[in-house]
């Protein structure tokens, strides 16, 4: 099914954030977005309103739209919320996971490993975040899944803002250990590994700022052909 113009803008911006191509503070110029997505300003404004509701864009009167710039306190709050929510999600997954679910997780971890080994950093980053979203999909609670999607996206923005460019993110060995605990039905090990993993991810953050102004069209322009 073809996406609407608004959906294309929202998905394009979210994908660029997830892959750390769009950084905090970048301005999302309406005219640039119109040209990139071949749409009008009404489409752009509706898309930006959707992104603001997801807390990844900030609309400033008389200035325009900017990728949100989380403060250190906001960053800590996001990871605290993730630890609380992902524990419950993990408990649900442990009770519900089928053999097919576990096979899906193992296949995903293998894709992460292949991306890392091939030095496909952007793809590895995207897949690392996607691992957590798969757990959310499997937990059987749509409300938790929705909350997790927002928190993972905000985490991607925080990591891209505060981490060194080559800082390690989600380790596929940590994801593999999480899957092993699910497969073994070991709740104690699973919760310990989730907690350790998210603390490790949070500790990779060091407050740094990047004041460069990238070209929005270079980031969001779909490949030709």
CB 155 within 8 A of CB 82: yes
Dist CA 153 CA 56 (whole Å):
8
**pTM of this prediction?**
0.79
φ and ψ at 70, to 5 degrees? -70, 140
What letter would DSSP give residue 62? T
Q: Do domains 2-67 and 72-204 have the same CATH topology?
A: no
**3-state DSSP call for residue 64?**
strand
pLDDT at 220: 80
pLDDT at 209: 47
Domain boundaries, the chain: 2-67, 72-204
Query: With a cut of 50, which residues of the chain have pLDDT below it?
Result: 1, 168, 207-209, 211
Dist CA 66 CA 48 (whole Å):
9
Q: Of all residues in the chain, what percent are helix, strand and coil, respectively (each to 5)? A: 70, 5, 30
φ and ψ at 208, to 5 degrees? -140, 150
Task: Tell me the per-residue pLDDT of 55-93, one tens digit each, with 9 for 90 and over.
Answer: 999 999 999 999 999 888 998 999 999 999 999 999 999
CA dist 114 → 88, 117, 133 (Å): 29, 5, 19
Strand 64-67, strand 57-60: pairing: antiparallel
CB 4 within 8 A of CB 38: no
φ and ψ at 141, to 5 degrees? -125, 105
Measured between its terminal Cα atoms, the distance across the chain in Å is: 19
Cβ partners under 8 Å of residue 173, min gap 6 = none
Tokens read off for 100: 């097919």
Q: Report whether CATH 1.10.10.10 matches the domain 2-67.
A: yes
Cβ partners under 8 Å of residue 17, min gap 6 = 56, 67, 153, 156, 157, 160
Place of tokens 């993990």: 90
CATH of range 72-204; options 3.90.1150.10, 1.20.120.530, 3.30.70.20, 3.30.559.10: 1.20.120.530
pLDDT at 7: 93
pLDDT at 170: 64
């Amino acid at each position: 099914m073809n996406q609407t113009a608004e959906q294309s803008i929202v998905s394009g911006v979210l994908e660029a954030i997830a892959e750390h191509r769009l950084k905090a503070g970048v301005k999302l110029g309406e005219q640039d977005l119109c040209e990139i997505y071949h749409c009008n300003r009404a489409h752009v404004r509706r898309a930006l309103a959707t992104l603001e509701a997801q807390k990844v864009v900030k609309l400033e009167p008389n200035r325009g739209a900017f990728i949100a710039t989380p403060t250190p306190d906001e960053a800590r709050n996001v990871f605290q919320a993730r630890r609380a929510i992902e524990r419950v999600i993990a408990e649900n997954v442990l009770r519900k996971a089928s053999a097919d679910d576990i096979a899906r997780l193992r296949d995903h971890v293998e894709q992460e490993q292949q991306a890392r080994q091939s030095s496909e950093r952007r793809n590895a980053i995207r897949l690392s975040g996607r691992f957590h979203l798969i757990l959310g999909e499997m937990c059987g609670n749509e409300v938790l899944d929705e909350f997790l999607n927002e928190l993972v996206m905000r985490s991607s923005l925080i990591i891209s803002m505060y981490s060194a460019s080559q800082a390690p993110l989600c380790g596929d060995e940590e994801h593999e250990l999480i899957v092993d605990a699910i497969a073994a039905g070991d709740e104690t090990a699973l919760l310990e590994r989730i907690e350790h993993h998210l603390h490790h991810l949070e500790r990779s953050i060091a407050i740094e700022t990047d004041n460069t102004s990238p070209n929005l069209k270079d980031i969001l322009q779909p490949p030709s052909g």
